[in-house]
């Protein structure tokens, strides 16, 4: 502390600290906020003026309050919900432009399926058309409860111990979901975490939920679902402990700006949820771990991964029949409208009549199956009459032991696993709770 600041009161220290935080550094800038002269600011700083009269202090407090409001928290008019931040290059018009530039390339990528409202609707429809979303979301809730509460099994309570609850400590939790879709699973996780945050247990000091998606319609659904849950489950005086901060951000190719808003305190924990097989949709799993996860997770932070399981007989996979020639059912029709959507819309906009036809091509190994033992159902569409095709969506299934081993090579150890099986007892997805073991 400088000699001039040591002679002034701590109230002035606090006032100038807050102004610095809001970016007002010079005497002139600070004077403009409080409606005083730079000389007055200088007198407050040097200790020439020791206290403010009650009226002036109230004015100063009101201005500082205004500076926070001005940044937009709770603009949505409801507790605990921040406005959606659209990061550079991740907005709908950016993706539309990318699509126009890349429409005739051999690979497009899954992010283009959902950003348009029609794509988001097709996804919701697919969820409602025999996709098993209820089974999968109940399966996630059961896995999350087991990780928190334990069930008397070997791995019981793994998540609780990582959040330091088993030591009777509390911490702040940054819960990030990459590609939440409609956010049903995340809302279930938040509901369970809320149960441990109350005055009785108080194991969560604060929780910030950051849903990350390029689809604004889905991001809104996911954010509002979580916000409603917080509003309904938490007493009003505890609302400020919970914050939903949606980011329209591209987690594969974008700048990951939302990472700058996460807590840096080593006592707080970051938990990244990557659910619903989206890991298997990536262009490159290795690039995602090295580029994105390395910026989000510190040593000791947590990754919750849900991946599709490779069947012992690949013919037992739901996508096999579609790859073999199709079923002609409602689920196939909706999948087609999701996968063909981007090219269809592009063609309609340039007046081209050429049909797009989804085809699913099974790939066992090869360039798109870098994780040992993985299997890829590549979703292709026609892009011109000469038979040129574009891969729009990868849908991979994993040999779970081989995946775990592969993740060790990137510094991620598995602490908990839970398999979700279908009505016939076949493993459908597996949940892995992983900890980053190195910087
Ligand atoms: C398969 S869906 C949703 C899965 C959902 N987590 C579940 O468990 O049902 C994938 C989600 O990821 C989003 N997405 C895909 N690629 C993305 C990217 N590069 N950046 C941000 N969001 C992306 C999509 O918009 C979509 O909401």
Dist. CA 220–CA 94, nearest whole Å: 19
195 within 8 A of 189, measured Cβ to Cβ: no
Quick one: which atom of ligand 1 is closest to the CA of 133? 9
* Residue 43 shares a structural domain with residue 178: no
* Residue 271 shares a structural domain with residue 150: yes
pLDDT of residue 5: 54
DSSP designation for 107: B
Number of CB atoms found within 10 A of residue 149's CB: 15
31 within 8 A of 63, measured Cβ to Cβ: no
pLDDT of residue 75: 59
* Residue 65 shares a structural domain with residue 167: no
Three-state DSSP class for residue 328? coil
* Residue 167 shares a structural domain with residue 228: yes
Dist. CA 44–CA 41, nearest whole Å: 5
Q: Looking at per-residue confidence, does 203 or 373 come out higher?
A: 373
pLDDT of residue 132: 84
pLDDT of residue 435: 97
* Residue 194 shares a structural domain with residue 231: yes
201, 305, 307, 348 from 273: Cα distances, Å: 24, 6, 12, 36
* Residue 244 shares a structural domain with residue 136: yes
Question: What percent of the chain clears pLDDT 90, i.e. is strictly above it?
Answer: 72
Q: Is residue 348 within a helix (H) or strand (E), and if so which, with residue range?
A: helix 330-350
Residue 126, ligand 1, Cβ within 6 A: no
Dist. CA 131–CA 318, nearest whole Å: 9
Looking at the predicted structure, is the pLDDT value of residue 155 above 80?
A: no
Dist. CA 307–CA 399, nearest whole Å: 10
pLDDT of residue 72: 67
Domain of 10? 3-70
Q: What is the pLDDT of residues 370-380, one digit of tens each?
A: 999 999 999 99
Mean per-residue pLDDT over the chain, rounded: 91
pLDDT of residue 204: 86
Three-state DSSP class for residue 151? coil
* Residue 234 shares a structural domain with residue 132: yes
Residue 381 belongs to a domain: no
Residue 308, ligand 1, Cβ within 6 A: no
Q: Cα–chain-centroid distance for residue 395? A: 19
Q: Looking at per-residue confidence, does 388 or 169 come out higher?
A: 388
Looking at the predicted structure, is the pLDDT value of residue 156 above 50?
A: no
pLDDT of residue 164: 81
Q: How confident is the model at residue 6 (pLDDT cuts 50, 70, 90)?
A: low
Number of CB atoms found within 10 A of residue 428's CB: 21
Q: Residue for token digits 């206290």?
A: 51
pLDDT of residue 330: 82
pLDDT of residue 214: 98
Question: What percent of the chain clears pLDDT 70, i.e. is strictly above it?
Answer: 94
Looking at the predicted structure, is the pLDDT value of residue 323 above 60?
A: yes
Q: Report the first-to-last Cα separation within the chain, whole angstroms.
A: 33
* Residue 34 shares a structural domain with residue 89: no
Residues near 25 by Cβ (< 8 Å), separated by ≥ 6?
A: 19
* Residue 20 shares a structural domain with residue 161: no
* Domain termination residue (choose one: 14, 45, 70): 70
Dist. CA 396–CA 376, nearest whole Å: 4
What is the secondary structure of 254-278 as a DSSP string? S--GGGGGS---TTSEEEEEE-TTG
Residue 129 belongs to a domain: yes
pLDDT of residue 403: 98
Which of 213, 248, 308, 319 should be mutated for ligand 1, with most atoms under 8 A from CB?
213
Quick one: which atom of ligand 1 is closest to the CA of 276? 8
* Residue range 16-35: mean pLDDT, rounded: 93
* Residue range 382-398: mean pLDDT, rounded: 93
Residue 251, ligand 1, Cβ within 6 A: yes
* Residue 100 shares a structural domain with residue 60: no
* Residue range 323-348: mean pLDDT, rounded: 87
* Residue 161 shares a structural domain with residue 41: no
Question: For atom 16 of ligand 1, which residue has the closest CA?
Answer: 111
DSSP designation for 381: E
CATH number at residue 290: 3.40.50.150
pLDDT of residue 153: 52
CATH number at residue 43: 1.10.260
Looking at the predicted structure, is the pLDDT value of residue 4 above 70?
A: no
* Residue 113 shares a structural domain with residue 196: yes
Strands 359-364 and 375-382, by their bridges, are antiparallel
Residue 123 belongs to a domain: yes
* Domain termination residue (choose one: 20, 38, 70): 70
Dist. CA 19–CA 29, nearest whole Å: 9
Radius of gyration of the chain (CA): 25
Three-state DSSP class for residue 284? coil
Residue 382 belongs to a domain: no
Residue 220, ligand 1, Cβ within 6 A: no
Residue 9 belongs to a domain: yes
HEC string of 233-260 equals HCCHHHHHHEEECCEECCCCCCCCHHHH
Residue 358 belongs to a domain: no
Looking at the predicted structure, is the pLDDT value of residue 154 above 60?
A: no
Residue 246, ligand 1, Cβ within 6 A: no
Quick one: which atom of ligand 1 is closest to the CA of 114? 25
Looking at the predicted structure, is the pLDDT value of residue 18 above 80?
A: yes
130, 141, 257, 357, 414 from 333: Cα distances, Å: 12, 29, 37, 11, 37
Could you give the number of structural domains in the chain? 2
* Residue range 82-103: mean pLDDT, rounded: 94
Which of 114, 217, 257, 308 should be mutated for ligand 1, with most atoms under 8 A from CB?
114
User: Which residues sit opposite 311 in a β-bridge?
Assistant: none
275 within 8 A of 177, measured Cβ to Cβ: yes
pLDDT of residue 26: 95
Q: Cα–chain-centroid distance for residue 20? A: 30
200 within 8 A of 49, measured Cβ to Cβ: no
Dist. CA 386–CA 137, nearest whole Å: 42
Residue 351 belongs to a domain: no
Q: What is the pLDDT of residues 267-322, one digit of tens each?
A: 999 999 999 999 999 999 999 999 999 999 999 999 999 999 999 999 999 899 88
Dist. CA 409–CA 342, nearest whole Å: 36
pLDDT of residue 1: 44
Dist. CA 192–CA 146, nearest whole Å: 11
Residues near 9 by Cβ (< 8 Å), separated by ≥ 6?
A: 47, 50, 51
Strands 375-382 and 302-309, by their bridges, are unpaired
Q: What is the pLDDT of residues 392-436, one digit of tens each?
A: 999 999 999 999 999 999 999 999 999 999 988 999 999 999 999
* Domain termination residue (choose one: 42, 70, 98): 70
């Amino acid at each position: 502390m400088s000699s001039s600041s040591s002679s002034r009161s701590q109230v002035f220290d606090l006032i100038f600290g807050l102004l610095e935080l809001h970016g007002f550094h010079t005497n002139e800038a600070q004077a403009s906020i409080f409606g005083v002269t730079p000389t007055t600011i200088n007198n407050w700083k040097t200790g020439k003026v020791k206290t403010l009269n009650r009226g002036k202090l109230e004015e100063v407090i009101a201005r500082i309050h205004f500076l926070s409001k001005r940044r937009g928290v709770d603009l949505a008019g409801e507790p605990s919900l921040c406005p959606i931040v659209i990061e550079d290059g991740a907005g709908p018009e950016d993706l539309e432009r990318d699509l126009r530039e890349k429409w005739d390339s051999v690979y497009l990528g899954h992010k283009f399926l959902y950003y348009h409202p029609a794509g988001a609707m097709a996804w919701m429809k697919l969820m409602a058309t025999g996709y098993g979303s209820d089974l999968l979301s109940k399966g996630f809730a059961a896995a999350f409860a087991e990780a928190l509460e334990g069930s008397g099994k070997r791995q019981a309570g793994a998540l609780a111990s990582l959040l330091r609850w088993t030591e009777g400590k509390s911490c702040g939790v940054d819960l990030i979901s990459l590609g939440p879709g409609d956010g049903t699973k995340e809302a279930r996780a938040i509901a369970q975490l809320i149960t441990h945050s109350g005055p009785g247990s108080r194991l969560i000091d604060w929780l910030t939920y950051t849903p990350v998606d390029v689809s604004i319609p889905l991001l809104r659904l996911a954010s509002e679902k979580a916000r409603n849950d917080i509003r309904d489950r938490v007493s009003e005086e505890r609302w400020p402990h919970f914050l939903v901060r949606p980011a329209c951000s591209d987690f594969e190719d974008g700048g990951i700006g939302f990472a700058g808003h996460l807590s840096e305190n080593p006592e707080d924990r970051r938990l990244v949820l990557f659910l619903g097989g989206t890991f298997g949709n990536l262009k490159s799993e290795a690039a995602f771990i090295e580029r994105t996860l390395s910026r989000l997770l510190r040593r000791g932070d947590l990754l919750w991964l849900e991946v599709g399981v490779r069947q012992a007989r690949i013919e037992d996979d739901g996508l096999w029949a579609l790859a073999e020639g199709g079923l002609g059912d409602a689920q196939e029709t909706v999948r087609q409208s999701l996968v063909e959507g981007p090219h269809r819309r592009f063609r309609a906009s340039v007046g081209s009549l050429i049909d797009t036809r989804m085809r699913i091509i099974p790939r066992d190994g090869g360039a798109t199956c870098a994780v040992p033992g993985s299997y890829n159902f590549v979703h292709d569409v026609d892009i011109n009459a000469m038979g040129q095709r574009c891969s729009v969506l990868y849908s991979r299934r994993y040999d779970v032991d081989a995946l775990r081993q592969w993740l060790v090579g990137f510094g991620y150890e598995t602490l908990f696993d839970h398999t979700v099986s279908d009505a016939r007892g076949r493993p459908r997805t597996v949940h892995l709770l992983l900890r980053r073991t190195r910087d």
